[in-house]
């Protein structure tokens, strides 16, 4: 059965936006943006963190096929180290919105912060914004965006696992798992590590008092 959801607000389209990988020690932060139609057929659609990897991978192509528009954007480790993870998240989100290639009247963003206007300045339209705490589980378009962000990032980290062997990226996806921290102590960081994150450069982190997340 198709589920009815509002696809427009005040006559315009609404996009859901969410990110994945904000708390990782390696790899990009990835954002998704999705405009769902008024009716869709996406069983089990919810926050990506509540779904198995197999369920997410099954939903991702269905979301892309049924969405009115979708986009994925990334901010890379060097950008994260330069501007900090919050600003890099906004950057990834703005890139996901641009990648949709379609104007919207409203962005519904998971969390408690909207994207600063400067990050959206390159758009040909000026969307309104609404921050929705817990939106990845309560707003279908945000749920869809979270799934696209998560599956895109997971696939990328699996590629990086082959490019940078020994860290186990395919398993922990760059999060601070015990095996990842042990690999960092043994091998040191590689090109996709976030050097300003505590634990990536343990000695420097302790000396500078770098915060964790």
- pLDDT for the residue numbered 202: 67
pLDDT at 184 over 90: yes
N- to C-terminal Cα separation, the chain: 41
Cα–Cα distance, 60 to 80 (Å, whole number): 26
pTM: 0.90
Structural domain spans, the chain? 3-162, 167-208
CA dihedral 33, 39, 44, 46 (to 10 degrees): 40
pLDDT at 18 over 50: yes
- pLDDT for the residue numbered 7: 44
Domain 3-162, architecture per CATH: 2-Layer Sandwich (3.30)
pLDDT bracket for residue 12 (50, 70, 90):
confident
Annotate 163-192 with b (16+ C-beta within 10 A) or e (fewer): ebeebbbeebbbebeeebeebbeeeebbeb
Alpha-carbon distances, residue 89 vs 98, 146, 164, 197 (angstroms): 14, 13, 24, 15
Q: 113-160 pLDDT, tens per residue?
A: 999 999 999 999 999 999 999 999 999 999 999 999 999 999 999 999
pLDDT at 207 over 80: no
Calculate mean pLDDT across residues 74-102: 98
């Amino acid at each position: 059965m198709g589920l009815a959801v509002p696809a427009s607000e005040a006559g315009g389209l609404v996009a859901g936006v969410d990110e994945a990988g904000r708390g990782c020690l390696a790899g990009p932060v990835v954002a998704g943006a999705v405009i769902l139609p008024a009716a869709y057929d996406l069983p089990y659609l919810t926050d990506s963190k509540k779904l198995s990897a197999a369920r997410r991978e099954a939903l991702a192509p269905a979301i892309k096929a049924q969405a009115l528009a979708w986009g994925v954007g990334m901010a890379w480790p060097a950008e994260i180290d330069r501007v900090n993870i919050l600003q890099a998240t906004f950057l990834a989100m703005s890139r996901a919105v641009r990648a949709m290639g379609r104007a919207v009247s409203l962005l519904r963003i998971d969390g408690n912060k909207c994207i600063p206007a400067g990050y959206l300045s390159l758009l040909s339209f000026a969307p309104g914004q609404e921050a929705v705490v817990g939106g990845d589980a309560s707003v279908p378009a945000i749920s869809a965006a979270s799934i696209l962000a998560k599956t895109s990032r997971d696939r990328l980290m699996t590629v990086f696992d082959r490019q940078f062997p020994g860290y186990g990226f395919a398993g922990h996806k760059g999060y601070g798992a015990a095996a990842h921290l042990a690999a960092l102590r043994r091998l040191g960081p590689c090109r996709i590590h976030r050097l300003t994150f505590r634990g990536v450069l343990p000695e420097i982190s302790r000396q500078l008092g770098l915060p964790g997340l």
